[in-house]
Structure 1
Amino acid sequence: MLFRLLATLPAAALAVLLAADPASAQQGPDYTPYREGLFLRYLNAVPGEIDGVPRIGLSLGGRTLRAEIDSGSTGIVVAAEFVPGFEQFPSQGPAKLTYTSSGRVMLGQWVVMPVTLSGREGASVTTAPLPVLVVTEVQCLDTARSCAPTTSPRNIAMVGVGFAREGDRQSQSTPDKNPLLNVAGGEGPRRQGYVLTREGVHVGLTAANTRGVFRYLKLERNADGTDWKPTPACISLNGATPPACGSVLVDTGVSAMFMTVPPGQAAGAQRTLAPGTLAPGTQVAVSVGAGEAAFPLYSFAVGDGSPMAPSAVHLRVSDRAAFVNTSYHLLNGFDVLFDGEGGYVGFRPK
């Protein structure tokens, strides 16, 4: 019944519900000892709704690029044309990163260098030296949606700030390559983490930028201890029970939602003549967390044009664990926190 109720609520009403009912939320960390935080406004920020993949300034090798900030991948990825003489920098060897949403496979070298990230108003942060993927070739998966192979890559500039991405064809994309978790400098203790909003990103977690009604979830560590596990989540289509459970990814790098659910959950929701799509009006409800820590996050109807609804839904029907990639549209309803040191995610309703 809870999923049926949520599916009938508009986005604004649902956000109010979440803010008013923190009973199942976990206790978040105390950020009062930390003051090293800076807000980087997206270069393409507009008042109101986020309506495109956010961009941020990326400076390396003496040149500033207009790069995409992508929470669906981990690591800075740039075409070799932007790093002349990269062979002279220290290297960690051959590099490979696959963007499964598009099917592009980036090949090159992990070159170690400091980088600077900047926002529209000139604020900037500089990292400690970290591996950057300098791309010398692009290959394509057989199932690629948007990809052109080349041995002369151009115009590639991505700042990957996601976590728990190693299992999605990004085995080399470990936290040491995440620029927002490796910020250097400052005069006091720093909590390495960030808050994504629809207009920019807070780099470094402080008492000031974590004010408000955040709903926190404590993540589990990977078995090898190198990273945190993905955010647990459940999905229900048209109020079907029980929901399909797995994980959720808040991905600022895409406008469309990517969803995997089992056949029983997709029954009656998938278009018969267009496999891989959901029928207009299909109610989608997403909850996050597991067990007593779980709480409903948001819902929408396919094609309803609401601010948090994705531009499209790519559906995969499989008995594998359920998965949902929200797209950047979720930031129209929530600020999203990631604490890379403590292993917390948080959702703050607008």
Structure 2
Amino acid sequence: MYVAEPFTELSHHCPHKDAPPASTIFLPYVHPFTTASVPLVKTTIGDVDIEGVNIDMPIDTGSTGVLIGAPLLPTLDRKEGTPTYHFLTSSKILYNGRLVNLTVQFHGSNGSYAKARVPVFVVDKSWICPWYDPKVHTLECPTGPDGEEATLRDTSQITYMGVGFGRNKPGNGQPGAVPKANPFLNIESINGRAFRCGSGRAGWTISTKGVHIGLTNRNTRGFRFTKLARGVTYEEDTRDWAMPKMSFSVDGRWATPGHGLVDTGVAQMYIRAEGNFPIPVVKVKDPNRHGSDKEVDRVRQGTNIAVQFPLLGGRAATYAFVVGEEGPMTPSFVAPGKQTPPPFLNTGRAFLHGYSIAFDAVRGRFGFRPTSNSKLTAAGRR
């Protein structure tokens, strides 16, 4: 069983007494942050027997684990690794490949660097599979309900890095989304010095400016936190935590509370209520040229949506917007899910224009720090 270390000063264990503790590293984005595109950080992927490959890696808080197309690692033995699969419910993409232990090196500001060693998902095949059911299907994309063949994707273009948590529940299509696959939680060294020799703890903060890997008192200043429930594999790894609690309202009516996800991997919002909760929905032409449907559901423009993440101390991270109206935290569109329990809301990455976020894998907390576009409020439905 992996037991997370407490957030205490550990520098007395360091082999170099005169060296500053290796507690955190800041990774600036390759390009300025926008809602329109996934944020990227600079990495090098390789190993002792594998030539390192420089990759501008997308950061996705809606999944867990590193995915790289097999053609990008030409010196890797095609037979090496353990077979596995991964399905992204938001984009309907299925990955089929192998898990191979590799080193991920992050390139930070001012020449700094950090190294993590994790099982990397080397993708041999990938499909856009709209009819895939993660509760039924596994490694392969089946034919569609009318005999449609799935769209095969170019694996030489696949690079993705999931750094999220709570995505490994049965039926989510991500059986390997566990802490040991998260490169941000498995840092071995920063600037050549052992990470555990520092005063940091496992976790991260993400903002519109970049990423801090390794939490300290300094880089978590101003955050207010909510406590997380234990995750599916907590008994094997105490860094596994469930998604945070959340509630939302539609046109002033509050739904039953559920779970929320701040997902840097998508620009849109996904919203799911239960029972007969009213969400105004319209049909629009499917903008996805690879989609299997002529029309798709969208939450009607002009709909008022409010979101609240309850925090410790009676506070809450809240925001609201009108679907279709411009605003810094407004998603590109809002897609409704099938109304089944439990309620769920994926904010999309526009949320970062209002709040920086932090994940504390040791204490099991998720934090919010407001920007000029938002503010913390008293908890309670409004």
Confirm or deny a common fold (TM above 0.5).
yes
Q: What secondary structure is seen at the aligned counterpart in 2 of 1:176?
A: helix
**In 1, Cα distance between equivalents of 2:311 and 2:31:** 36
More helix by share: 1
Structure-2 change in CA distance of 1:89 and 1:275 (3 Å): closer
1:230·1:247 contact (CA, 8 Å) conserved in 2? yes
Structure 1 residue 115, shift from structure 2 partner: 0.9
Identity among equivalent pairs (%): 31
1:177-256 → structure 2 map (5 Å cutoff) = 177-185=181-189, 186=193, 187-212=197-222, 214-225=223-234, 226=237, 227-241=240-254, 243-256=255-268
Q: How does 1:156-171 map to 2 (within 5 A)?
A: 156-167=158-169, 168-171=172-175
Q: 1:178-230 deviations in whole A, cap 9, x for unaligned?
A: 00000112342430100010120111001111112x22111111354242111
Shift of 1:275: 6.5
Contact 1:89-1:111 at 8 Å conserved across structures: no
Q: How many residues align?
A: 311
Amino acid paired to 2:161: V
Aligned to 1:271: 282
Q: Which has the larger radius of gyration?
A: 2
Q: Are 1:94 and 2:83 counterparts?
A: yes
> Are the counterparts in 1 of residues 282 and 299 from structure 2 also a CA contact under 8 Å?
yes
8 Å contact kept, 1:263–1:317: no
Q: Does the aligned pair in 1 maintain the 2:80–2:98 contact within 8 Å?
A: no
Query: Aligned pair in 2 of structure 1 residues 296, 153: CA closer, same or farther (>3 Å)?
Result: closer
**319-328 or 30-39: which moved more?**
30-39
Letter of the 2:216 counterpart = T
Q: CA deviation at 1:98?
A: 0.9
Q: CA deviation at 1:148?
A: 3.0
Conserved? CA contact 2:317–2:368, under 8 Å? no
Residues 223/160 of structure 1: CA separation in 2 closer, same or farther (3 Å cut): closer
Structure 2 counterpart of 1:176, one-letter code: K
The alpha carbon displacement at 1:316 in A equals 1.6
Q: Quote the Cα distance in structure 1 between the aligned partners of 2:297 and 2:88.
A: 19
How far, CA to CA, are the matches of 2:361 and 2:108 in structure 1?
Answer: 21
How many angstroms does 1:90 deviate by? 6.5
Q: TM-score, normalised by structure 2?
A: 0.75
Are residue 261 (structure 1) and residue 282 (structure 2) matched?
no
Change in CA separation of 1:192 and 1:155 when aligned onto 2, cut-off 3 Å: same
**Cα 1:209–1:111 shift into 2, 3 Å:** same
One-letter code aligned to 2:261: L
Is the partner of 1:304 in helix, strand or coil?
coil
- Structure-1 residue corresponding to 2:342: 321
TM-score after normalising by structure 1: 0.81
CA distance in 2, matches of 1:310, 1:220: 27
Give the secondary structure class of the aligned counterpart of 2:66.
strand
Give structure 2 stretches of 5+ with no counterpart: 1-5, 11-20, 47-51, 133-149, 285-294, 372-382
Partner Cα separation in structure 2 for residue 115 and residue 312 of structure 1: 34
Q: Distance in 1 between matches of 2:31 and 2:110?
A: 11
1:142 aligns with 2:163: no
CA distance in 2, matches of 1:264, 1:332: 32
Following TM superposition, by how much is the alpha carbon of 1:262 offset from its aligned partner in structure 2, in angstroms? 2.8
Q: Which residue of 2 aligns with 1:124?
A: 113
Unaligned 5+ segments in structure 1 are 1-29
AA at the equivalent of 1:38:
I
Q: Please name the residue that 2:62 is paired with.
A: 72
Q: Which has the higher contact order (CA 8 A, sep 6+)?
A: 1
Tell me what 1:106 maps to.
95
How far off its partner does 1:70 sit?
0.6
Q: Where does residue 32 of structure 2 map in the other structure?
A: 45
In the TM superposition, what is the alpha-carbon distance from 1:139 to its structure 2 partner? 2.8
- Structure 2 distance, partners of 1:182, 1:293, is 33
Distance 1:156 1:319 in 2: 32
